């Protein structure tokens, strides 16, 4: 699979080892720091009873 993906990359691009796993990515997107995909993330505030009290999109 990796070879097929690498063969389809534009000239000058290369595959590199990941810097983390899927959970690391989720934590990064959920954080308050600016991120290129931050506007695509929906964030919710949930009270102690598990009820959504506020939802907001794109506070990345």
Specify the pTM. Answer: 0.40
Contacts of 56 (CB under 8 A, 6+ apart): 42, 43, 44
Gap between the Cα atoms of 53 and 55, Å rounded:
7
Looking at the structure of the chain, the number of domains it has is 1
Q: What is the reported pLDDT for 55?
A: 62
Confidence of residue 40 (pLDDT cuts 50, 70, 90): confident
Determine the structural domain holding residue 9 and report its residue range: 2-57
């Amino acid at each position: 699979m990796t070879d097929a993906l690498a063969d389809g990359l534009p000239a000058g691009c290369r595959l590199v080892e990941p810097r983390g796993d899927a959970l690391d990515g989720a934590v990064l997107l959920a954080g308050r720091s600016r991120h290129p995909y931050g506007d695509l993330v929906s964030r919710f505030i949930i009270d102690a009873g598990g009820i959504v009290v506020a939802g907001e999109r794109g506070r990345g």
